[in-house]
Structure 1
Amino acid sequence: MDAEPRSSAAASDHPPGQARRRALGEFLRSVRARVTPSSVGLPAGLRRRTPGLRREEVAQLAGISITWYTWIEQGRDVSVSAHVWARLADVLHMTRAERHYLFELAECADPDHGKEAPEELPEGLQACVDSIVVPAYIIDRAWNVLARNVPLERLFGGWPGGEASPNLLRYIFLDPAALDLVVDWETRARRVVAEFRADTVAHTDAPQISRLIDALLAASPTFAHWWTRQTVVEREGGRRGFYHPDLGKVFYRQITFNLAVRPDCKLVMLLEDEPTPGGR
């Protein structure tokens, strides 16, 4: 069992984070109320004044003290480890979206994220990407390309084509074609590493991501150089330039969206942009 909680009136009355803690407690109470005792192996015939599990039952099943769990539901300022949140999510049979919401409120990374094999995209997302008239693609947290459209393949000279498991980082750092395609490749490569670090800062121990990082460190001196610099930036989009084999130098404005149905994935669109004066 984890250590006993510590709390104080001064800490619980402190404004910063109070609304978030209150929302977290209300969310846990709501989920607890819908979990049936039989679904967690408890006798179903016990008389209950309220539906769902009791606080002491949740605490016992999660291996924490009833005082600690009560304080969490009350929105008090207590220190809770990521593994305790994970146990609570399991005990309360949270869906993927609920689990993601829990860890967002708790402001920590899910320790179980990425341990399972990657799932296919929900039905309809490939059709969504196909319907976009500009180059577009979907990547997961490891920057595997899970969906792309024909305009993207035309821009990238056929890539990813028939690759079974295309990965944008491997393309940028290990495929010579990227050096010819990307305008100012060195600058873009530096930023890409910083963006990837920001995406994976809490998930570098996930097997798929750690294997990818190890492979890039061994095969790409440029990736290794910038990875050791510890730079972090958000994948915020912006202007992108490419040397198209038929159209010459072309520019796009990159727009990135997080996917509600797959929080670990992003939809990226490249909107045509005008060249700057002087051809730069």
Structure 2
Amino acid sequence: MQTDEQRKLLGAFVRTRRESMTPEGHDRRRRRTPGLRREELAARAAIGTTWVSWIEQGRNVRPSAETLARLADGLSLSTAERDYLFSLAGRHDPADPFAGAGQAAPAAIAALVGQMSWPCYALDPGWSVCAANPAARRLFVGLFESDPVPNLLRYVFMHPAARQLLPDWAERAGRLLAEFRRDYSHGLADPRVRAVVERLQAQSRDFRESWDAQTVLAREGGSRSFRHPDDGPLHFTQHTLADVERGDFRVVFLEPEKPA
């Protein structure tokens, strides 16, 4: 539910951004007011002038997500500014790869994940979690509560719980992204996969710096340690499988390590 304060902030933001934009044409030097007129912004955004007026006035109206997306495009907002606009409006950005539904897990993957007793999950091409068993949901604290579409990259780089859960966070985060980059080369035709990278580059400096390092690694198994808030230190051997029908999906399971 959008509050009065959110509507006022949204209106002030849209008005300020509109007034900061340079008008087109030869009459811009003769203007008495700065920036674009409301009707000019409405034309750029392909929405009604009334919508622009009501939003700027902070009226109790609920423009659709599609209307807000066109308004954001008309204002040439950055990723951070779009996030701010949609947050104030209480809507999900259609361009946000984390806001919509991810790809459903293939039937064979969903069946395998469901039968595992060890922590097990599956990743779609954008590394959103498309299937997970109860053990994985318990292990990855906060992952399944924070986002409508849990994404492993977003969780590791942006969720505070991930830094507490992974005692070697910097090394694990860097490796995770290097492994994703290898898969990314096969997913360039998928606009959602590209959008995941673009959104995280805008939201996380750690992600941006790791991405710019251009490190590429194969997804390999090995020892993985966790510092669980309820279960204490946990140690696993990680295994990764690729689906034979859909090579861009991954199944990851964690085999508990036996005490030495």
Q: Normalising by structure 2, what TM-score?
A: 0.57
Letter in 2 for 1:137: Y
The superposition leaves residues 83-104 of structure 1 with CA deviations (integer Å, 9 ceiling, x where unpaired) of xxxxxxxxxxxxxxxxxxxxxx
The corresponding residue for 2:177 is 193
The superposition leaves residues 26-75 of structure 1 with CA deviations (integer Å, 9 ceiling, x where unpaired) of xxxxxxxxxxxxxxxxxxxxxxxxxxxxxxxxxxxxxxxxxxxxxxxxxx
Once the two structures are superposed, the pairs formed by residues 4-19 of structure 1 within 5 Å of their partners are none
RMSD of aligned Cα (Å)? 2.0
1:246 to 216, 222, 230: 230
Aligned equivalents of 1:182, 1:189: Cα separation in 2: 9
Give the 3 Å change call, closer, same or farther, for CA 274–220 of structure 1 in structure 2.
farther
Letter in 2 for 1:238: G
Corresponding residue SS for 2:230: coil
CA contact (8 A) 2:142 2:161 kept: no
Counting matched residue pairs gives 160
C-alpha displacement of 1:264: 1.2
1:149 to 84, 109, 133: 133
The superposition leaves residues 131-153 of structure 1 with CA deviations (integer Å, 9 ceiling, x where unpaired) of 10000001022101110000011
> Which sections of structure 2, spanning at least 5 residues, go unmatched?
1-100
Once the two structures are superposed, the pairs formed by residues 253-268 of structure 1 within 5 Å of their partners are 253-268=237-252
CA contact (8 A) 1:183 1:243 kept: yes
1:176 to 150, 160, 176: 160
Aligned equivalents of 1:119, 1:192: Cα separation in 2: 20
The corresponding residue for 1:209 is 193
CA contact (8 A) 1:251 1:275 kept: no
CA contact (8 A) 2:105 2:122 kept: no
Letter in 2 for 1:272: P
Aligned equivalents of 2:154, 2:183: Cα separation in 1: 16
2:216 to 232, 237, 240: 232
CA contact (8 A) 2:167 2:226 kept: yes
C-alpha displacement of 1:126: 2.4
The corresponding residue for 1:80 is none
Give the 3 Å change call, closer, same or farther, for CA 205–125 of structure 1 in structure 2.
closer
C-alpha displacement of 1:128: 2.4
The corresponding residue for 2:35 is none
Letter in 2 for 1:133: S
> Which sections of structure 1, spanning at least 5 residues, go unmatched?
1-116
Corresponding residue SS for 2:144: coil
Aligned equivalents of 2:231, 2:147: Cα separation in 1: 25
Letter in 1 for 2:239: I
The corresponding residue for 2:24 is none
Corresponding residue SS for 1:261: coil
Corresponding residue SS for 2:107: coil
Aligned equivalents of 1:145, 1:128: Cα separation in 2: 14
Aligned equivalents of 2:106, 2:186: Cα separation in 1: 24
Larger Rg: 1
Letter in 1 for 2:232: G
Corresponding residue SS for 1:160: helix
Aligned equivalents of 2:171, 2:259: Cα separation in 1: 18
Structure 1 residue runs of 4 or more that deviate by more than 6 Å after TM superposition: none
C-alpha displacement of 1:203: 2.7
Letter in 1 for 2:159: D
Give the 3 Å change call, closer, same or farther, for CA 242–211 of structure 1 in structure 2.
same
Aligned equivalents of 2:133, 2:145: Cα separation in 1: 11
C-alpha displacement of 1:160: 1.3
2:205 to 204, 216, 221: 221
C-alpha displacement of 1:238: 1.1
The superposition leaves residues 108-160 of structure 1 with CA deviations (integer Å, 9 ceiling, x where unpaired) of xxxxxxxxx96522335323212100000010221011100000111112531
Aligned equivalents of 2:259, 2:210: Cα separation in 1: 29
Percent identity, aligned pairs only, is 39
